[in-house]
Structure 1
Amino acid sequence: MQAPYFHIHRDSVSTICITIGGVWDFRIAKSKLNSLASALHKHQNKRQITQIMFADDARIDLAFGIFLKQHLHSTPEIIASNEINATLNQCLIASIPPTPKHSFVKLFFAQLGKGVYEFFQSFIDFLNFVGMSFYYLVISLFHGNIRLTPLLYHINESGFKALPVSLLTAFIVGFAIALQGAVQLELMGAPLLSIEMTAKLSLREMGPFILALVIAGRSASSFTAEIGVMRLTDELDAMKTMNFHPVPFLVIPRLFALIIVMPLLVFLADAFSLLGGMLAVYLQLGIDMGSYIDKVHESVSWTHFFIGIVKAPFFGAAIALVGCFRGFCIKENTQELGRITTISVVNALFWIIAINAIFSFITSRLGI
């Protein structure tokens, strides 16, 4: 392979001819290309290059042709063989613009603005979806056309099948909270307060909240994946073609099922959370079951229990709405299915925390 070279000839005081020879292809050293580029730029600034001649042993490829045209700001006469001329004619890019330099500040604010806009648009779409879902739910209740079979199916799938892990989680959390409370309050000389603290926390917060987190991780992802797969396989389009609206057929049974089943699950979660607290108090303080129940009956009113029950339908509605809404957002491919399913669980957890905080604020203001 002939080594690449170039020579600069001065034809007169103001004109220069550059002769290029050897093999100039993608394997050429960068230093050689930089030397040629420097020579071209130096003499083109003075408008002295009038001719570029390729020697008989010259061989070029498309990459070098693009490189040459990129660094030729003027149009000198090119003397070359037919093969080289054909290669140069294929280089339609006369000038490749330099890579733009992005400012970090501009890029940051651009991404921030894009994120804010997408969040706002998604929030508006979600509000529209919530309004449409409750509209169809009310219509279905007033007309008595709730589809019983899918309703019972989703009560079983989303509710009762989640009982083992939900009750075990509530039991463990109740045990841990009661144990830590008993240890700390025992050091302060008021160990019996741990029973009241555990019972109130279990009924008001830990039972409903922990249960909602478990159901969100299980059911929100399930709803999103089911509806997302139906969208990817064009089942939703088929339903619309048959004049079946997807919301009454897909969203309402799931929404109504979680609204119904969540209070029942919260009742059981409260019971297991209290059992966990009772076991912890017995192990740490030696208080038996009868004394524990008597203390709970004396110090804890039914108000705490009803507050947790009232929260449950709101938790269920939030989980179902977020899961179904994100399922309808899936449009592209199976990779999008996984990403949106993850977002669905995160959104459901956020709304559960937000609803719980709102209830805590309202009940504290009302002194309940």
Structure 2
Amino acid sequence: MPQDGRPPVDRQLPGEEARDLLTLVRELVRREIRPRAAEEEDAGTFPRGLFALIGEAGLLGLPYPQDHGGGGQPYEVYLQVLEELAAARLTVGLGVSVHTLACHAVAHFGSKEQQAEHLPAMLGGALLGAYCLSEPAAGSDAASLRTRAVHEGGNWRIDGTKAWITHGGVADFYTVLARTGAEGPRGITAFLVPGDAQGLLAAPPEKKMGMKGSPTAQVHFDGVTVPDDRRVGEEGQGFTIALSALDSGRLGIAACAIGLAQGALDEALEYTLTRRQFGRPLVDFQGLRFMLADMATRIEAGRALYLAAARLRDTGLDFSRQAAMAKLFCTDAAMQVTTDAVQLLGGYGYTADFPVERYMREAKVLQIVEGTNQIQRMVIARHLAGPESKP
């Protein structure tokens, strides 16, 4: 058993380098993340210094090329790192996933000049990113966004409001999707906006039921001006860029969900092994053993699903349907597993003395972010049966 008391999780890793990376992550979790997670989440403290440390360890650019400062790791390895981080503190695991999402546009669609100028700091940990797609009236229907960018000379003027932005107000850069043309998905363009741009203002963070240490805020753009060399991709290509990023981002959410569920199972197992009732350990009661077995099965199934999707991505095959399936299944599994963990701890599970009540509150948001699970079902159904018929 590791020094932090958690039982080991068997990993399917492609080589010695990946095993060494997981060892590094587990040591960082043991020393730097787990000891302060409960206290900082309760206080709503964003661990900016911890993200700097994670960046110095090379964990903020793992799936991107080494020649631009990334880690050069396949997605199947990167996602297992996310799982380890989220098992200790979801604010950290999800934060790394969001940063990776924010880097996607420049890394995959940026010009060579943009990549050379921006990626080393973005991937090397000097900067922390945020991803601005959703708006107050454009969440699931992202193609109807209203934030507008107007070309003025050699610059773009951006006006509008983005909503539900993780790292809103603390990010060093924002990947922003704005309308530059007609209505619909073909009129959207991507921009890379500095966090200190004049006219950019973050509202006070939302008051949430969970993930209190991770700031989620509206971000207002009031005449924010950026040069044309911060436009990423072609005009009108933004929605394609956004969907491409979301397919990968959904795998990040799936991995975080399984990490959260694993953390809840670990707590429940330890509690039922040591707590005694009627002269016997709780784990001796068949009904509780069956609950633990179901929890473990959901976790293993979810892990297998997100890893299968990651391997498709790593080999260059289409993985959009599998990413939606992984996000759907893993986040639903996390909600069920964390709820069961609270039940297994009984009254103690409902108190803040044990972390499972926090895990349950945090699990809920994973069914909503980066496409609600209802949207994932729509994506899967379209892959199976084609688009819906129009009346």
TM-score (norm 1): 0.26
TM-score (norm 2): 0.25
- Between 1 and 2, higher relative CO (CA 8 Å, sep ≥ 6) is seen in 1
Bigger radius of gyration among the two: 1
